[in-house]
């Protein structure tokens, strides 16, 4: 991959109220750790952890600091805001991006602290921002190198009552498929981009893939968000151990959802504007 872009590390949902969001996602059957604050930015977040990826839910703590566009996004309502890709080395990704002509910013250190059982977890990252033209359909994207991966996942944080174990797919909307195909081939390498008419699949070798569709297809699926413009992150699919058990939990917790094919589609209002699907994971034999 031409900027050493790794797997989908964590999608991000932007919200107004983290406390209310925590309650909503507990109702959906997630284990929700305490919130943490970014030292260098004005954002704070909740991170719902899975074994190899996670869901970040981000809000505004200090509007006078850098917000990475969260404030502008929230002007159009809550929802899926961003995707962070894993980087084994932020420095190496930056150098490779520059060498291959990708608009990319130098790595910046990011520190997040949160209190767990009276103790402070001190988490450190390096983040590399991509130029806006290099992630059509995703609203916002960056690369993330974890410097404290051993403390990122604490005991009990992975045992979600809804059975979620990972992300399976993210879906973005684009209007110019020729441009999107060209950009992602530049970013990821041609072998990781497959176009099928008005549909583009991005492969990362492991973890969740990304599907890019047009606005008409998003409308057909019930995931259109015209207030976001012509390019946006439309939905995310989460993989679960036992879909029947997930459905039972939703029913018992009073979660509004629909059966859509082989997935459960949770009403956007239940997930702070995010279109989330829950699907049975395929267990390799």
Digit-coded pLDDT (tens) for 134-152 = 999 999 999 999 999 989 9
Tell me what the mean pLDDT of segment 176-187 comes to: 96
Whether residue 142 is found in the same domain as residue 34? yes
Task: Write the pLDDT tens digit of every residue in 72-89.
Answer: 999 999 999 999 999 999
Percent of the chain past pLDDT 70, that is, above it, reads: 99
Residue 220 lies inside a defined structural domain of this protein:
yes
Rounded distance between C-alpha atoms, residue 257 and residue 278, angstroms:
10
Whether residue 51 is found in the same domain as residue 128? yes
Residue 202 lies inside a defined structural domain of this protein:
yes
Rounded distance between C-alpha atoms, residue 142 and residue 133, angstroms:
12
Whether residue 148 is found in the same domain as residue 175? no
The structural domain count of the chain equals 2
Least confident segment among 90-94, 95-99, 118-122: 118-122
DSSP 183: H
| Domain end among 152, 181, 203 | 152
CATH number of the domain at 40, please. Answer: 3.10.180.10
Domain of residue 128: give its range: 8-152
Whether residue 38 is found in the same domain as residue 126? yes
Residue 103 lies inside a defined structural domain of this protein:
yes
Residue 23 lies inside a defined structural domain of this protein:
yes
- Residue 160 main-chain phi, psi, to 5 deg: -80, 130
Structure tokens at 50: 């899975």
Whether residue 25 is found in the same domain as residue 106? yes
For residue 285, pLDDT over 50 is answered with no
Rounded distance between C-alpha atoms, residue 140 and residue 128, angstroms:
12
Whether residue 198 is found in the same domain as residue 71? no
Q: Which residues 6+ apart lie within 8 Å of 197 measured at CB?
A: none
Residue 95 lies inside a defined structural domain of this protein:
yes
Q: What is the mean pLDDT of the chain?
A: 95
Structure tokens at 120: 């402070």
Whether residue 228 is found in the same domain as residue 251? yes
| Domain end among 132, 152, 172 | 152
Whether residue 203 is found in the same domain as residue 112? no
Whether residue 85 is found in the same domain as residue 26? yes
Tell me what the mean pLDDT of segment 179-195 comes to: 96
Provide the 3-class DSSP secondary structure of residue 278. strand
Whether residue 23 is found in the same domain as residue 109? yes
């Amino acid at each position: 991959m031409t900027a050493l872009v790794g797997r989908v590390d964590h999608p991000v949902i932007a919200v107004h109220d983290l406390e209310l969001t925590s309650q909503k996602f507990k109702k959906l059957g997630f284990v929700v750790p305490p919130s943490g604050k970014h030292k260098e930015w004005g954002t704070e977040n909740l991170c719902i952890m899975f074994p190899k990826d996670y869901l970040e839910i981000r809000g505004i703590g200090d509007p006078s600091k850098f917000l990475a566009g969260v404030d502008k996004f929230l002007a159009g309502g809550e929802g899926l805001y961003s995707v962070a890709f894993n980087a084994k080395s932020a420095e190496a990704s930056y150098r490779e991006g520059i060498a291959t002509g990708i608009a990319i910013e130098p790595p910046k250190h990011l520190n997040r602290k949160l209190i767990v059982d009276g103790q402070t977890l001190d988490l450190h990252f390096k983040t590399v921002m991509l130029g806006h033209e290099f992630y059509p359909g995703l609203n916002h994207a960056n690369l993330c190198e974890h410097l404290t991966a051993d403390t990122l996942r604490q005991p009990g944080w992975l045992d979600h009552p809804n059975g979620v174990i990972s992300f399976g797919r993210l879906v973005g909307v684009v209007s110019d498929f020729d441009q999107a195909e060209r950009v992602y081939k530049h970013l990821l390498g041609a072998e990781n981009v497959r176009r099928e008419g008005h549909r583009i699949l991005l492969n990362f070798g492991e973890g969740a893939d990304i599907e890019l569709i047009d606005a008409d297809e998003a409308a057909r699926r019930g995931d259109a968000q015209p207030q976001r413009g012509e390019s946006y992150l439309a939905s995310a699919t989460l993989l679960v151990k036992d879909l029947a058990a997930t459905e039972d939990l939703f029913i018992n917790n009073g979660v509004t959802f629909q059966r859509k094919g082989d997935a459960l589609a949770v009403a956007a209002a239940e997930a702070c504007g995010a279109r989330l699907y829950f699907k049975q994971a395929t267990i390799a034999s």
